[in-house]
Amino acid sequence: MVNKLNNTQPSIIKLVDVTFGYNEKPILKEVNLELNEGEKVGLVGPNGSGKTTLLYIIMGLIKPQKGKIEILGKLREKEKDFIEVRQKIGLLFQDSDSQLFCPTVKEDIAFGPLNLGKSREEVKILVEEICEFLGIKHLINRPIYKLSGGEKKLVALATVMAMQPVCYLLDEPSTGLDEETKEKVISFLKNQAHTYLVVSHDKKFLKEVTEKIYFLKEGKVFLYQDFSQQG
């Protein structure tokens, strides 16, 4: 189903009145957030404000106590509703160790597309193309435990790219990256990613890759900056 309201693009993510707390302390209070196809959006907020939690809710990794989650135009409630979400929406975890679980780089990047039913040949080419693009071809056979933090971040991004998601959720993607590597991520976002929500504290990075920034504070999401509306 395609949502068309006021000539906007199809809705990818829509949260309506989402409320969540890990215990009695509320983290998200009736949060409303919408991301349409082609939107490149940032999310900022103090440490512990619930940015990672919000991304987990979109992926169905945790369930809100109240509210509605619509992804790709469909209401998502039960665990089985999120199977398609996790195939089509790619989450880059804040902590790369949560993302990587195979013995080597090559196996980790291949895991997702093989699981989607792509052939070994097809996946081999895809893995090589992604590694070439991110400049990590030299790491392809390396065990994960022998990677630096920045290298892990790039490999984690490669595993998400390999799923060819329709939308990316990126949780602090530039943390721990040197300037040159950060430029690669910026180039990827600008040129190859069509729709995304990126959480970051890096204002310069956000200004480069987003056209709109939301702010999460005290459980509420506000529009913070809209570059697309500026001269």
- Which stretches of the chain bind ligand ADP, using CB under 6 A? 22, 27, 45, 47-53
Q: Which residues contact 17 (CB under 8 A, 6 or more apart)?
A: 30, 31, 32, 66, 67, 68
Q: Which does 11 bind (CB under 5 to 8 A by kind): ligand ADP, Mg ion, none?
A: none
Distance CA 67, CA 196 (A): 22
Q: Which partner from the list ligand ADP, Mg ion, none does 45 bind, CB cut-off 5 to 8 Å by kind?
A: ligand ADP
Nearest-CA neighbor of 33 among 69, 9, 3? 69
Answer for the pair 171, 93: CB distance below 8 angstroms, yes or no: yes
* Partner whose footprint covers residue 60, from Mg ion, ligand ADP, none (CB < 5 to 8 Å by kind): none
Residue showing the smallest CB distance to Mg ion in the complex? 52
Give yes or no for a contact between 58 and 15, defined as CB atoms under 8 angstroms apart.
yes
Residues 64-103 that bind Mg ion (CB under 5 A): 94
**Minimum CB distance to ligand ADP, residue 47 (Å):** 5
In the sheet that holds 66-71, the strands lie side by side as 26-36, 11-21, 66-71, 74-75
96 binds, among ligand ADP, Mg ion, none (CB under 5 to 8 A by kind): none
6 binding partner (options ligand ADP, Mg ion, none; Cβ < 5 to 8 Å by kind): none
Q: Contact between 53 and Mg ion (CB under 5 A)?
A: no
Closest distance of CB 225 from Mg ion, Å: 20
Closer residue to ligand ADP (CB): 190 or 217: 217
- Residue 231 tokens read as 């001269």
Name the DSSP class of 100.
Answer: -
| 52 binds Mg ion per the rule CB under 5 A | yes
Six-digit token string for 131: 């590694």
Residues near Mg ion (CB under 5 A): 51-52, 94
